[in-house]
Chains A and B, each alone.
Chain A
Amino acid sequence: MKIPRFSRKTLCIPYAVFLIFFVIVPMLVILFYAFTDRNMHISFSNFIRFFSDPTKLSTIVYSLVIALITTVICLVIAFPVAYILAHSRMKKKFVILMLFVLPMWINFVLRVNALRELFNLFSSLDGLEGLANANYFKTVFGMVYDFLPFMILPLYTTMLKIDRSLYEASYDLGAGAVTTFVRITIPLSMPGVMSGVTMVFLPSMTNYVVSDMLGNAKVTIIGKFIYEYFGTDWHMGSMVALVLLIVVFVSTWLSGGFKSEENVRGTTL
């Protein structure tokens, strides 16, 4: 009797099925909808409508700018935190790391809601009335608050993996603290920076819950756009989704996220 043998390929089948039905097919559907009109005829009208509408284009730009600012602020805050945590000899540093990561475990909508209430409270104070209408500020603030852990964690794990003797070697060769930081710490932290940036930049372009709740619905980002179109016009919605896909693809490519070999080098050795 022949015993049926499980090969590794067999184990891949469930995932392959999942991939086909939930990734590839939907992509094709989006592609189909994006280039058809309401009568299901092939057409470029969505494409033309999108790129001839200044509000749509400006939304894309706004989304990019908000995402960019959020990412930069997250990076500026997270880098020193991760650096200090990774280098401290504190026995309790796990606790401090948890304090930064813990918010991730609390419901996201709840946190944003709480933040909105806080903003409302502050804007009722004398001298802070301007806060009520600082929609972009509040949106960015909320996004930084939400996505910071996603920046800290990969940075922290990458920095933790850097061999301490590399710093010693740098000092030994005559480099001071600043030179060592610029020439050793920063380059070797790049894999962490890259994954942190990806994990913050992409969601902050599409996560419209924050911009809706904190920006008084005055701040429209691209994710909101897609959501609204799918209520009325699937064809236009698909086109916006496609454009977003391309923007993400290009920005990832520009930041070198696809050069996986480069990233691995710093961490494996």
Chain B
Amino acid sequence: MAEHIIELQDVTKYFDDNLVIDHVSFYVNKGEFITFLGPSGCGKTTTLRMIAGFDLPTSGKILLNGEDISRLPPNKRPVNTVFQRYALFPHLNVFENIAFGLKCKRVENTYRNDKGEEYKKKEKLSKKEIREKVQKALALVDLEGFEKRSISTLSGGQQQRVAIARAIVNEPEILLLDEPLGALDLKMRKEMQIELKEMHKRLGITFIYVTHDQEEALTMSDTIVVMADGIVQQIGTPVKIYNEPANTFVADFIGESNIFNGTVVGEKKVKFCGKTFQCLDKFEPNEPVDVVVRPEDIQMCAPENGTLVGEVISVVFKGIHYEITAQVGKYELVISSTESREVGEKIGMNVSPDGIHLMKPKYTTNVFEGVITKHNTVKFADGEFECDVTQLYPGSHIDEEEYLITAQGEKIDLTDVAVRVEVGLNDIEISDDAEAGGTTGKIISIIYKGDHYRLIVRTEEEEEDFVFATDDLWNENDLVSVIIPKDKIKLSLKNTEEKKR
């Protein structure tokens, strides 16, 4: 088994009151090229900064070769960083920039004194050693002869190379790269991707790479850690992550995908888009599942031979393939194929069992913690909603003074009673009108599920999420109000010690 060079154990990080990293644990094997991938704000850079030592975890441990380094300052860690915007020292030239780390370094040399006893001395590197090392590093990044150049005269790509040379010249055990190619143009980026990969092979040290570019991650990494919302969504090889996404977020974030709501109907059989398909994943019968089908896994055929039959509604040429969208009943499917089709043409479609990926839906219902108010409404997620409190006690009713009378005739004041609020995925509506609903929030996620969209609306104060399905297309970051019909709010008591009167 490979050695674990870095291990995060249950690491949590708060910035003030914001939870940025939520109980993250994983390990990095020695010598591998690992990538943290995720949308901006998912916590990938914070994780990297904690490994570098710029940020300290609020709780949890970071182990380097089995030793806890969570509290060690950055200058005591055998890791070096290539910064997002290079962070080269503007007052130093190329040579001085690269030599900076070497000049700080003290090496332990062993000497013999006159009596032949060995003693150790911590010494600076000699000028000659530094010069040799810098030259070696410059050769590695193809910048020989640039020693005397001032940083401001270098192009973005050259600065990038200096930044890499400055980090690797210190022979770190781990090289951390924080979106290092973000500022380069596409062609340059592709070249640097290949060079970095080469460099990783040649140096044999561990690379930890942060990016939001899924293609970059797939191209370069041995292992990808997909992150979102401060949580690790999936860890695996690029092939595994692409072919077997752990949830709809990963499927949606990495590559194109068709995502449907499906139901397991039998042994390795799943129903979606109104048809039953053979699949490879085993789930309990009648279990609701998310079904992910990659566009390239849908084969087109003659209408009479297809499990699904539909009409082509758009064809987009993408260079190597065509992206064809087909309408099957109320569902839309995206197909990628080297063959083109005419818009309006009827086509049949088949999906082979290994092209169908089933996953447990992340959200089956919305659960909140709420409090009943004086007026028998319920307060949760920054808002107040009308609800039917009599469901808390079977057979109860409300008297004219707004007290609850149980079936046994007991009078209960529900004010401030804590309740668990449950709202189904199909029972929420949203509106542009901020006054229309019980609370307001921002749309933070939209995933297309073939015939509807799955939205997540997050409230501003308490950051509670409402997950629900809608047929309408909204925009991310829209501020909307959340409407829940009175009879769709399911309440249950949190603790049985309700206040009696």
- State the A residues within 8 Å of B (CB): 163, 165-166, 168-176, 179, 183-184, 187-188, 190, 265-266, 268-269
Q: A172-B54, A174-B170, A175-B100 are in contact. List 13 more A-B contacts (CB 8 A).
A: A163-B85, A168-B54, A168-B81, A169-B166, A171-B53, A171-B74, A172-B75, A173-B167, A174-B75, A175-B101, A190-B91, A265-B152, A269-B152
CA distance A64 to B101 in the complex (A): 41
| Complex contact A174–B87 (CB within 8 A) | no
| Complex contact A188–B91 (CB within 8 A) | yes
Decide if B368 is an interface residue (CB 8 Å cutoff): no
CA distance A174 to B99 in the complex (A): 11
Q: Which chain A residues border B170 with CB–CB below 8 Å? A: 173-174
Q: Which chain A residues border B104 with CB–CB below 8 Å? A: 173-176, 179
Smallest distance from the beta carbon of B302 to chain A beta carbons, Å?
A: 59
A-B contact pairs, 25 of them (CB 8 A): A163-B85, A165-B84, A165-B87, A168-B54, A168-B81, A168-B83, A168-B87, A169-B87, A170-B89, A171-B53, A171-B73, A172-B52, A172-B79, A172-B81, A173-B100, A173-B166, A174-B75, A174-B105, A174-B170, A175-B104, A176-B104, A183-B100, A265-B91, A266-B91, A269-B151
Q: Which chain A residues border B166 with CB–CB below 8 Å? A: 169, 173
Q: Which chain A residues border B167 with CB–CB below 8 Å? A: 172-173
| Complex contact B89–A169 (CB within 8 A) | yes
Q: Which chain B residues border A269 with CB–CB below 8 Å? A: 90, 151-152
CA distance A265 to B151 in the complex (A): 10
Interface flags, B166-205, vs A, CB<8A=1, else 0: 1100100000000000000000000000000000000000
Partner of B75, one of A165, A175, A268: A175
Q: Which chain B residues border A170 with CB–CB below 8 Å? A: 89, 100
| Complex contact A163–B100 (CB within 8 A) | no
Q: Which chain B residues border A184 with CB–CB below 8 Å? A: 89
Partner of A265, one of B75, B81, B90, B105: B90
Decide if B12 is an interface residue (CB 8 Å cutoff): no
CA distance A187 to B170 in the complex (A): 23
Given contacts A269-B151, A269-B152, contact A172 B74 (CB under 8 A): yes
CA distance A169 to B178 in the complex (A): 12
Q: Which chain B residues border A179 with CB–CB below 8 Å? A: 104
| Complex contact B91–A172 (CB within 8 A) | no
Q: Which chain A residues border B70 with CB–CB below 8 Å? A: none
Smallest distance from the beta carbon of A186 to chain B beta carbons, Å?
A: 10
* Residue among B84, B91, B150 with max Cβ neighbours from chain A (10 Å): B91
Name the residue on A nearest B77 (C-beta). Answer: A172
Name the residue on B nearest A174 (C-beta). Answer: B104
Smallest distance from the beta carbon of A62 to chain B beta carbons, Å?
A: 36
A interface SS class: helix
Partner of A176, one of B75, B80, B91, B151: B75
Smallest distance from the beta carbon of B232 to chain A beta carbons, Å?
A: 25
CA distance A176 to B101 in the complex (A): 11
| Complex contact B83–A169 (CB within 8 A) | yes
Name the residue on B nearest A264 (C-beta). Answer: B152
Q: Which chain A residues border B53 with CB–CB below 8 Å? A: 171-172
| Complex contact B91–A169 (CB within 8 A) | no
Q: Which chain B residues border A268 with CB–CB below 8 Å? A: 152
| Complex contact A266–B90 (CB within 8 A) | yes
Name the residue on A nearest B54 (C-beta). Answer: A168
CA distance A173 to B166 in the complex (A): 8
Name the residue on A nearest B169 (C-beta). Answer: A173
Q: Which chain A residues border B151 with CB–CB below 8 Å? A: 269
Q: Which chain A residues border B52 with CB–CB below 8 Å? A: 168, 172
Q: Which chain A residues border B87 with CB–CB below 8 Å? A: 163, 165-166, 168-169
| Complex contact B75–A188 (CB within 8 A) | no
Q: Which chain A residues border B85 with CB–CB below 8 Å? A: 163, 165
Smallest distance from the beta carbon of A182 to chain B beta carbons, Å?
A: 11
Interface flags, B42-83, vs A, CB<8A=1, else 0: 000000000011100000000000000000011100011101
| Complex contact A165–B105 (CB within 8 A) | no
CA distance A188 to B151 in the complex (A): 14
CA distance A170 to B91 in the complex (A): 13
Interface flags, B88-101, vs A, CB<8A=1, else 0: 11110000000011
| Complex contact B101–A173 (CB within 8 A) | yes
Smallest distance from the beta carbon of B491 to chain A beta carbons, Å?
A: 41
Given contacts A174-B105, A176-B75, A265-B152, contact A169 B90 (CB under 8 A): no
Q: Give the residues from 122 to 176 in chain B that come closer than 8 angstroms, CB to CB, to chain A.
A: 150-152, 166-167, 170
Name the residue on B nearest A163 (C-beta). Answer: B87
Smallest distance from the beta carbon of B422 to chain A beta carbons, Å?
A: 40
Smallest distance from the beta carbon of B205 to chain A beta carbons, Å?
A: 15
CA distance A103 to B87 in the complex (A): 37
A-B pairs, top 6 by smallest CB distance, nearest first, are A173-B101, A269-B90, A165-B87, A174-B104, A169-B87, A171-B74
Interface flags, B104-123, vs A, CB<8A=1, else 0: 11000000000000000000
Interface flags, B397-417, vs A, CB<8A=1, else 0: 000000000000000000000
Name the residue on B nearest A180 (C-beta). Answer: B75
CA distance A176 to B103 in the complex (A): 12
